[in-house]
Amino acid sequence: MIKNYNFKVLLMLIMFLIYFFSTILANYFQHYEYIFSDINNTKKYQLFSSRASFYAYIDLENDMYTEGEPYDFRIKEVYEDKNYFIGYDFEKNYETNEIEKRYYIVVDKNKATMEIYNEQDFKVKYKNIDDSKFTNIYTFLKRKGTKIGMYR
């Protein structure tokens, strides 16, 4: 009877360890990816999440960054319709818990162009797209993205 009990405990311990480590590995290596193109399919755009999935990145076009700058744009909130894919990143003051600056990246699907705006310029040019239309990037990627098991 004691032998049988030890075997059950050992089996449960092995199952727990397999479950524990497989969960850690799955969360560490797995991320989301979302690929879309313009209306005429001339350019493809790739959005990929970070490990923590609190934000995602979109690769910038070559003429949008200078040497030594990052080649991707970090996105925390996103909006998409048939004409635009818009994402923004913001700087937050953690003492006051308020958003200080926002930077928007706009992919025009009709023209196959990508541009970055500060908050004032974005609000002037895209008056009909307000902050309530944006979705958290994690929610967006869970709905539209594809899970892949390789982290960049």
From the centroid of its chain, how far is CA 103?
15
Q: Is residue 66 part of a domain?
A: yes
Mark whether 100 and 137 lie in a shared domain: yes
pLDDT tens-digit profile of 74-94? 899 999 999 999 999 988 777
Mark whether 86 and 24 lie in a shared domain: no
Mark whether 8 and 36 lie in a shared domain: no
Residue 16 belongs to what domain range?
1-30
Q: Is residue 150 part of a domain?
A: no
Distance CA 75, CA 103 (A): 9
Nearest residue to 84 via CA among 55, 46, 102, 111: 111
Mark whether 42 and 109 lie in a shared domain: yes
Q: Give the residue with greater pLDDT, 130 vs 106.
A: 106
pLDDT tens-digit profile of 114-124? 999 999 999 99
